[in-house]
Amino acid sequence: MGKVIADLAASAASATFNVENAASSVDYVLSKTDGAAGEYLKTDGSGALSFGAIASAGFNSVIVYTGSTTWVKSARPAGITKVIVEVQGAGGGGGYSGASDYAVAGSGGGYARKFIDVSSVTQAVISVGLPGTAAGTSSIAGGDGGDSSWNDTASGGSSTVTGVKGVGIYGNFSRSAGGTATGGDINIPGGSGDNCSANSSMLAGSSFLGTPGLNGRTGESAIQASFGYGAGGPAGYSVTSLAGMPGVVIVWEYK
């Protein structure tokens, strides 16, 4: 039968106890300093015992980027090893027409989501798309939105995740095509923007993170703005059209 022999001298900086069995014995050295609440007892593999904090794991923090910048891992909480990145392209602006043509609403931007191991990544370039401008009452087509993206390929990674912009167009009986998305584990294109004439009033292009507004026409239906991120801008038939919604990049950080 094994036995435990302890040397707990009051003057010593640490306490040593010997655990014997039939084959061998091991000396363990334990500091007399008590650990903090919630800590655990650990070994260095050579018999020295000490108290240590339990490492936190799982979700840690989230950042919502509404402007282009750089994600720098060293500036984030220590221990971040993984992220989930969401990128939403900006919506195109709504078009305008007078009494004879169709106005076309802006389309929605594309959306992508990706899980990324950032253990070897030091930073990533983040681009956030600007919304497409409204035609107002002075032109036919609204402006294009801007792409949103995460790119870590220059800093130890291999991921480029992009939500492509929504657009503004002109064309009778036309619809503006939604932006695509690339590089994600999930890639969802934006919705098309409908046309608006004297006899019809439909919706701007939808997006994964935005809700489209209603096209407007004189004497029939009031124009209603889109909201959220990435939706297209409503068109106006003899009423002022509206801009699209901006893009966004959201980074969920994990240890």
CB neighbours of residue 5 within 10 Å: 11
pLDDT tens readout for residues 23-50:
666 666 766 677 777 677 777 777 677 7
User: What is the model's pTM?
Assistant: 0.80
Q: Are residues 44 and 65 both part of a single domain?
A: no
Confidence (pLDDT) at 1: 44
As for how many domains the chain has, the answer is: 2
Containing domain of residue 46, as a range? Answer: 3-52
Q: Are residues 34 and 133 both part of a single domain?
A: no
Q: Are residues 195 and 163 both part of a single domain?
A: yes
Q: Are residues 41 and 114 both part of a single domain?
A: no
pLDDT tens readout for residues 79-120:
999 999 999 999 999 999 987 778 999 999 999 999 999 999
Residue 67 to residue 145: CA distance in whole angstroms: 14
Structure tokens at 229: 């991120």
Q: Are residues 71 and 189 both part of a single domain?
A: yes
Confidence (pLDDT) at 171: 80
Confidence (pLDDT) at 15: 59
Q: Are residues 43 and 118 both part of a single domain?
A: no
Residue at which a domain ends, from 52, 70, 88: 52
Q: Are residues 21 and 99 both part of a single domain?
A: no
Residue segments in the chain with a per-residue pLDDT below the cut of 70: 1-28, 30-32, 38, 47, 54-55, 198-201
Q: Are residues 237 and 195 both part of a single domain?
A: yes
Structure tokens at 235: 């068109």
Closest among 184, 183, 187, 126 to 155, alpha carbons compared: 126
CA torsion 90→93→94→100, rounded to 10°?
-140
Q: Are residues 127 and 163 both part of a single domain?
A: yes
